[in-house]
Chains A and B, each alone.
Chain A
């Protein structure tokens, strides 16, 4: 969980970079790999990506801070993205968000004390036909009642313990 890039990943990217005319095109792949391993992208992750690509940390940061799904701050093991766009909103997205906030005892942008969940508002998840929807990590769920949402959270808690 804490490693930024595995030895294999490092080798793979180094080889890839050497073969590319514009290594910079790998920047999102690298940031996402660091995030997959580490949960979020710490300063050292930005520096590592910069080193691999021959960029400065600032040049990587310029890109990293643009994207929503690159976390430059610690998040819980399961970041929960709650869709607040129009289709989900029209079918109870707000209520679902309020419920999850109460159920988890955290507000948007916060992480539960056990380090498991972070609640994040998100734009449309491309699940508009299944509204209201949420995305946990990269898995999308919907349509959800508040009970469904509780079950998902409970299952993840179990997964984390087991």
Chain B
């Protein structure tokens, strides 16, 4: 821990730190370009020069490359350092175009800030400027190479950090070009990060182009709603539309980066079919009226049929506050407690994570630091993309990744893949079949210093996660836990699970046996989330009354007798709990409203003035639920009340949007016994596994027009051996026969996947929406040609 002096201030920093980091700790920001917290120092830009007055090697030094030493005396503002930095500014600006007025970086241009802080102001160079021809990098990213200052950040982000292999530096001398071999869409699922790291306007968000200046942008720290990892984001919008999302910084979760689904998948907020109006029996009404009506209606049903006739459904999409208030409401009416996960098998998995596993949960940061990660039944790029990036960082630090999964798993790093089927994995974990592989892995886990097990809840279910839990415990030792990182279905699945007091009977059965007359759905859609989607839809049609709170257009919102439009994540405040039990707060960047562009058909300003903002009815669900309960607490007061009623939420009222979040207290070790035993014999030649796909399965992002270019089309995937046996060709249209019906699909082959398995992506809004991820594999067959 050397202590040194910088600009007459004393600072003590960890061994191995640089002068730059020591200065940063003192709050002195040395101008810099190539240094980036997540990428480290490479010494290319030379902007960070400072003078080492006393030290082993005195003189002008690059602060990002120079180790801080005990007793060193450093000055950042010597004449020598200031003159040099001014020259770096001059050199970098010789070729920079003066197109700042039309540059999208305006307002957040590090080049402007650093040039000014370097002291360079007048360009003496009068020669020609170097120019480039730009490339088309696809729908997400715009390129304007003339602005490039060759800091190499983009290449280091894209290649080194994210593992992309189709974008990088070409050429040399004053003509280095950052791009692709040929024009075309960037292939990495993390491509958008190059926008965040580029200090100037070379790489900008194409979907945000020419829309808003930063100072006009409404932004707030938020949480990405698209998977259970809960990455930090900063959405921004204007004119009542969401316009972009950039990565937030949370060193415990995503670090500095996010995936492209998180970045480009938010325009569902602007979706024209989004519920915007409270509606009762087909008539638009004010929210207050709908709430009164709902209160009366539920009271009526209870009066007539008893409290057991009303069922409540919360969800992993809704905020912790809304779910909790729903629970309070049900309790106040003496109705059965809400169900928070409609898919019973998924529900059991969530309960495992929230309960028995909760003492062993690993953050993404711990995954990044792990020396051995066993990924079991998970496909990170499709289920939780930033996990894939965390795995890559583990590998970069010398860690090893082993994947057991039937899918043709892809990762942006080196890993070992065993394409076992779901049953094989479960058998293996239960110790019921060939265990050579498991024994080898177990002995590795025992000796690993920071082992982590990743378990996909969709493939493993509650039983699988429970077995995984036993495994981690058996690999614990005195120095460390063997940690577990479970992937859960949704952003707040953990929160829902935590609010659940006891497992509920399957809603479908309760509906089918006619006991339930009225159903209240909070940001959930039984018809697409329950594994028996067809039966569920039928059952719903027998209800007397369906009330739905939602921000997305779903089956449920369409058939609802009473609809309450809720605010999206970016329009309200709330808390989500991610898959490692981390509570994180988000806050509203925008007020709900129909985008001005949609109201005025592109005309601006709007010609017609109205007393009320069009489409501004949606409110955070927890506000409406408070109204129902006749309460009007501030969000902090509400959170305090929640802490009181749920001790595991201790700390919730202290959460600040944008902070690291607080982990919920682990549950007392009281084993949750699973009743359903899933291990079964592998019957049938071919079984179907419906799975999540990164683009298309998750509802909100699939409704985002911006990700359309990446949406997966309905398809069927098998091992080439299966195709051969059935005399089928890759690329031909085949018929998939299942208990849910026949489907005509394009056939894809991948030899990395398990044999005797067929895989389809679950895609809402397509014929494949009948398949819901999270279940056991289903019997199926394939035939060539049309059905």
Query: Residues of A with Cβ closer than 8 Å to B?
Result: 43, 46, 55-59, 61-62, 65-66
List which B162-198 residues lie within 8 A (CB) of chain A: 165-172, 177, 180-182
Interface residues of B (CB under 8 A from A): 165-172, 177, 180-182
Given contacts A46-B181, A56-B181, contact A62 B165 (CB under 8 A): no
- Residues A58 and B171 in contact, CB atoms below 8 Å apart: no
Q: List 18 A-B contacts (CB under 8 A).
A: A43-B181, A43-B182, A46-B181, A56-B166, A56-B181, A58-B165, A58-B168, A58-B170, A58-B180, A61-B170, A61-B181, A62-B169, A62-B170, A65-B171, A65-B172, A65-B177, A66-B171, A66-B172
B170 surroundings in chain A (CB, below 8 A): 58, 61-62, 65-66
Which residue of A is nearest B179, CB measured? A58
- The answer to whether A58 touches B181, judged by C-beta atoms less than 8 angstroms apart, is yes
Which A residues touch B168, using CB under 8 A?
Answer: 58-59, 62
Residues of B with C-beta under 8 A to A59: 165, 168
Tell me if B's interface is mostly helix, strand, loop or mixed.
Answer: loop
Additional A-B contact list (8), CB under 8 Å, known A46-B181, A56-B165, A56-B166: A55-B165, A57-B181, A58-B181, A61-B170, A62-B169, A62-B170, A65-B171, A66-B171
In the complex, the chain B residue whose C-beta lies closest to that of A64 is B170
Docked pose: A56 CA to B188 CA in angstroms: 13
Q: Which residue of A lies closest to B168 (CB)?
A: A62
Complex Cα gap A12–B573 (Å):
64
A86-B170 Cα distance, complex, nearest whole Å? 28
Residues of A within 8 A of B166 (CB): 56, 58
- Which B residue's beta carbon lies closest to that of A58? B181
Complex Cα–Cα for A58 and B181 (A):
5
Nearest A-chain residue to B159, judged by Cβ? A59
Q: Are A58 and B167 in touch, CB under 8 angstroms? A: yes
* Closest beta carbon of chain A to B148's beta carbon, Å: 15
Whole-angstrom distance between the alpha carbons of A24 and B303 in the complex? 77
A153 vs B166: C-alpha distance in the bound complex, in angstroms? 42
Report chain B residues within 8 Å CB of A65. 170-172, 177
- The 10 A-B pairs with the shortest beta carbon distances in the complex, nearest first, are A57-B181, A58-B181, A56-B165, A65-B170, A65-B171, A66-B172, A61-B181, A58-B166, A62-B168, A62-B170
Q: Give, as a whole number of angstroms, the nearest-CB distance from B170 to chain A.
A: 4
Closest to B173 in A: A66
CB distance from A147 to the nearest CB of B (A): 35
- Bound CA–CA A65/B168 (angstroms): 12
> Closest CB of chain A to B168's CB: distance in Å?
5
Residues of A within 8 A of B177 (CB): 65
B176 to chain A, nearest CB (A): 9
Chain B residue numbers with a CB within 8 Å of A57 are 181-182
Closest to B172 in A: A66
Report the Cα distance A138→B171, complex, angstroms.
22
Bound-state CA distance A159–B181 (Å) is 37
Contacts of B169 in A (CB 8 A): 62
Q: Enumerate chain B residues within 8 angstroms of A56, measured Cβ to Cβ.
A: 165-166, 181
Smallest Cβ distance from B179 to chain A, in angstroms?
A: 8
CA of A62 to CA of B180 in the docked complex: distance in angstroms?
9
What B residues does A58 contact at CB under 8 A?
Answer: 165-168, 170, 180-181
Q: Measured between C-beta atoms, what is the minimum distance from A49 to chain B in Å?
A: 12
- Residues in A with CB closer than 8 Å to B167 are 58
Min C-beta distance of A136 to chain B, whole Å: 24
For residue B171, which residues in chain A have a CB less than 8 angstroms away from its CB? Answer: 65-66
Docked Cα-Cα span, A57 to B166, in Å, equals 8
Determine the chain A residues whose CB is within 8 A of the CB of B181 once the complex forms: 43, 46, 56-58, 61
The docked-state distance in angstroms from the alpha carbon of A43 to that of B182 is 9
- In the complex, what distance in Å separates the CA atom of A43 from the CA atom of B167? 16
Residue of B nearest to A66 (CB): B172
User: Shortest CB–CB separation between residue A11 and chain B, in angstroms?
Assistant: 25
Contacts of B172 in A (CB 8 A): 65-66
Kindly state the separation between the CA atoms of A56 and B187 in the bound complex, as whole angstroms: 12
Report the nearest A residue to B166, measured CB to CB: A58
Q: With both chains docked as a complex, state the minimum distance between the C-beta of B684 and any C-beta of chain A, in angstroms.
A: 38
Across the two chains, which residue of chain A brings its CB closest to B165?
A56
Give complex CA distance A56, B182 in Å: 12
Q: Taking CB as reference atom, which chain B residue is nearest A67?
A: B172
Residue of A nearest to B177 (CB): A65
**A46, A55, A56: residue with the most chain B Cβ atoms closer than 10 Å:** A56
Rounded to whole angstroms, the CA-CA distance of A59 and B180 in the bound complex is 9
Quick one: which of A43, A55, A57 has the most chain B CB within 10 A? Answer: A57
Which residue of B has the minimal Cβ distance to A59?
A: B165
A115 to B319 CA separation, bound complex (whole angstroms): 71
Smallest Cβ distance from B177 to chain A, in angstroms? Answer: 8
Most-contacted residue by chain B among A55, A57, A58, A66 (CB, 10 A): A58
Query: Closest approach, in angstroms, between the C-beta of A26 and any C-beta of chain B?
Result: 18
- Please, which residues of chain A bring their CB within 8 A of the CB of B180? 58
A154 to B172, CA, bound (A): 35
CB distance from A13 to the nearest CB of B (A): 21
- How far, in angstroms, from A58 to B170 measured CA to CA in the complex? 8
Q: How far is the CB of A5 from chain B (nearest CB, A)?
A: 19
Given the complex, which residues of B lie within 8 Å of A66, measured CB to CB? 170-172
CA of A6 to CA of B172, assembled, Å: 31
Closest residue to A47 on the B side, CB-wise?
A: B181
Q: How far is the CB of B37 from chain A (nearest CB, A)?
A: 25
CA distance A61 to B171 in the complex (A): 9
CA distance A58 to B165 in the complex (A): 7
Q: Tell me, in angstroms, the Cα distance from A46 to B171 when the chains sit together.
A: 14
Assembled-state Cα–Cα distance A56/B166 (Å): 7
**Cα separation A43 to B166 with both chains bound (whole Å):** 15
State how many angstroms separate the Cβ of B186 from the closest Cβ of chain A: 11
Distance, CA A62 to CA B152, complexed state (A): 13
- In the bound complex, residues from chain B placing their C-beta under 8 Å from that of A61 are 170, 181
A34 to chain B, nearest CB (A): 16
Name the distance in Å between B584's Cβ and chain A's nearest Cβ: 37
Q: Which residues of A contact B182 (CB under 8 A)?
A: 43, 57
A44 to B519 Cα, complex, angstroms = 62
Distance of A131 Cα from B181 Cα, bound (Å): 39
Q: How far is the CB of A109 from chain B (nearest CB, A)?
A: 14
Most buried by B among A46, A55, A57, A61: A61
B171 to chain A, nearest CB (A): 5
Contacts of B165 in A (CB 8 A): 55-56, 58-59
CB proximity of A124 to chain B, nearest CB, Å: 16
Instruction: Output the nearest chain B residue to A55 by Cβ-Cβ distance.
Output: B165
Q: How far is the CA of A106 from the CA of B511 in the complex (A)?
A: 86
What distance in Å separates the Cβ of A108 from its nearest Cβ neighbour in chain B? 16
Distance to closest chain A CB from B629 (angstroms) = 58
Complex CA gap A66/B182 in Å reads: 17
Closest to B155 in A: A62
What's the Cα separation between A86 and B167 when bound, in Å?
A: 37
**A55, B181: Cα distance in complex, Å:** 12
Q: How far is the CB of B418 from chain A (nearest CB, A)?
A: 22
Q: Given the complex of chains A and B, what is the CA–CA distance between A66 and B173 in angstroms?
A: 9
Residue of chain A at shortest CB distance from B170: A65
The answer for the CA separation of A34 and B594 in the assembled complex, in Å, is 59
A55 surroundings in chain B (CB, below 8 A): 165
CB nearest neighbor in A for B180: A58
CB B374 to nearest CB in A, in angstroms, measures: 26
CA–CA, A59 and B172, complex, Å: 14
- Nearest residue (CB) in B for A60 is B181
Q: How far is the CA of A22 from the CA of B199 in the complex (A)?
A: 34
Report B182 CB to chain A, min CB distance, Å: 8
- Min Cβ gap B69→A in Å is 36
CA distance A66 to B176 in the complex (A): 9
How far apart are the CA atoms of A66 and B169 in the complex, in Å? 10
Give the distance to chain B from A45, nearest Cβ to Cβ, in Å. 12
Assembled-state Cα–Cα distance A157/B171 (Å)? 33
A150 to B169 Cα, complex, angstroms: 40
The chain B residue sitting closest to A56, CB to CB, is B165
The CA-CA distance from A46 to B181 in the complex, in Å, is 9
Closest to A68 in B: B172
Q: Which of the listed residues B169, B170, B172, B180 has the most CB atoms from chain A within 10 Å of its own CB?
A: B170
Tell me the bound Cα distance from A65 to B180 in angstroms.
Answer: 13
**How many angstroms between the C-alpha atoms of A64 and B409 in the bound complex?**
32
A43 to B177, CA, bound (A): 17
